[in-house]
Amino acid sequence: MTVAPEVVNLAERLATFADHWNPRIVGRYNGNELRVAKVLGEFTWHRHADTDELFLVLAGRLSIRFRDAVRTFGPGELVVVPRGTEHQPFAEAECHVLLVDREGEPTTGDAPSHLTREQLDAI
């Protein structure tokens, strides 16, 4: 017997917390975690040596600094940061994002900081 998968309402999940730069896991697939986060201010410069990272804006505007450019995008837009690419996300006002990262990937990749979250809560 097959069990129908759960429908995940991202807005409802985001409403369960208020802190910034602390993603929560809302699903898993093919070795990846679907993470939602509220972001505000600057994050740590970092890179993920062995995996790409996807940022999809759900609400607000997100910017990501790269060594040669800045990309700013809004609701319904996404950026895939290729593995090994140094980047620094930031938001001037609160922004809600969906992130796709490899299971267990630390939030700050190769640059541990006070913002590193190695174990994420599932909601």
Coarse DSSP helix, strand, coil percentages of the chain, rounded to the nearest 5 percent: 5, 45, 50
23 belongs to a structural domain: yes
Segments forming the whole domain that contains residue 58: 10-102
83 belongs to a structural domain: yes
115 belongs to a structural domain: no
Counting every residue, how long is the chain? 123
CB-based contact 15:8 (threshold 8 Å): no
120 belongs to a structural domain: no
Q: Which residues contact 29 (CB under 8 A, 6 or more apart)?
A: none
Q: What is the CATH number of the domain that holds 39?
A: 2.60.120.10
1 belongs to a structural domain: no
CB-based contact 20:41 (threshold 8 Å): yes
What's this model's pTM, rounded to 2 decimal places? Answer: 0.93
Q: Which residues pair with 35 in a beta bridge?
A: 25, 99
Q: How many domains in the chain?
A: 1
35 belongs to a structural domain: yes
5 belongs to a structural domain: no
DSSP run (H or E) holding 56: strand 53-59
What does each of the 123 residues of the chain score in pLDDT, given as a tens digit? 789 999 999 999 999 999 999 999 999 999 999 999 999 999 999 999 999 999 999 999 999 999 999 999 999 999 999 999 999 999 999 999 999 999 999 998 888 898 888 789 999
CB-based contact 63:70 (threshold 8 Å): yes
Q: How far is CA 74 from the centre of its chain?
A: 14
